[in-house]
Structure 1
């Protein structure tokens, strides 16, 4: 079970102190940011996993549903792959399972029958309509205590890190 922050700091502060003891010659300051980003992400995704469990779908499957819900048209499987960053095989596996659950419908592209389009069924749209606001509420609770200016500043700083990460992925 995660330990709450104490007067000695949060979990990442404790991890960083341990790294400094083990590797005193290495500047571990990036752990201050990247460790927290990773930990917050893990905690958020763990909450999402628990919240989705009663619906019988995984977080990855919810990502596929969400990609389709955000689109104003059916998407090719390759487009879903690009948005979710899953492999093509994983996208196919998730789409197959979601199809069996009646949440996604596959249709052939009218201009090229080899191309499969994916779109939400009414049940799929309803599931996203129910779960997405719940996810936003959980995220909002994680951001509690930050005022509007702090949220804007944090988003801007994280955007810069995201751009760096995306650029590094291209190298």
Structure 2
């Protein structure tokens, strides 16, 4: 491969080169992958924050709404916490706000009245129905230029990295 075949360096290439000069004894090759995953994630989340800003619904609140909207049943707060990966206290705070704006309602579990279940309201579902397709459109733009085969390979590789990350969390 000659220099004309090399892709133009991106931000992560520049960062890796800088680290390589500062710490030549360290293999910084993981930055090529994990750095890009982190950067893409940060940029995608920033885009979501900007898109949600006019609605006054935060990204974390949107994640709570999405967890409830895609569930086929009401969820306990602990279940929402598990799928959104935020603390229980933060989930409670987000739910309080979503209840106040009419996007989520609480109901008692019929077999144990001490248990509170969370359900997305019609207004909350309308919000998700409007915002989720917009989020998917932004994600589609991030994947522009990748054909179906490339997407499948990338998804498979990232799935393996996700499993590694999930396993590391359990240790």
Point out where structure 2 has 5 or more consecutive residues left out of the alignment.
Answer: 1-6
**Aligned residue for 2:86?**
86
- C-alpha displacement of 1:44: 0.1
Alignment of structure 1 residues 135-146 onto 2, 5 Å: 135-146=135-146
| Structure 1 equivalent of residue 100 of structure 2 | 100
SS of the aligned residue for 1:86 comes to: coil
Residue correspondence of structure 1 range 6-155 to structure 2 within 5 A: 8-155=8-155
Match of 1:3 in 2: none
Structure 1 residue 133, shift from structure 2 partner: 0.4
Aligned residue in 1 for 2:4: none
CA distance in 1: counterparts of 2:11 and 2:125, whole angstroms: 38
Residue 169 of structure 1: how far off its partner (Å): 0.6
Q: Secondary structure at the residue paired with 1:26? A: coil
Q: Distance in 2 between matches of 1:85 and 1:38?
A: 17
2-side partners of 1:73 and 1:103: how far apart? 16
Paired positions, count: 165
Cα root mean square deviation, aligned: 0.8
* 2:3 alignment partner in structure 1: none
After TM superposition, the score normalised by the length of structure 2 is 0.95
**Offset at residue 89 of structure 1 (A):** 0.7
- The gaps in structure 1 that reach 5 residues or longer are 1-6
Shift of residue 86, structure 1, vs aligned partner: 1.1
- Secondary structure of 1:119's aligned partner: strand
- For the residue of structure 2 that corresponds to 1:38, the secondary structure is helix
Structure 1 residue 97 displacement after superposition: 0.4
Distance 1:140 1:123 in 2: 26
Instruction: Report the alpha carbon displacement of residue 8 of structure 1 after superposing the two structures with TM.
Output: 4.7
Post-superposition Cα deviations, 1:139-158, rounded to whole Å, max 9, x if no partner, equal: 00000000110000000000
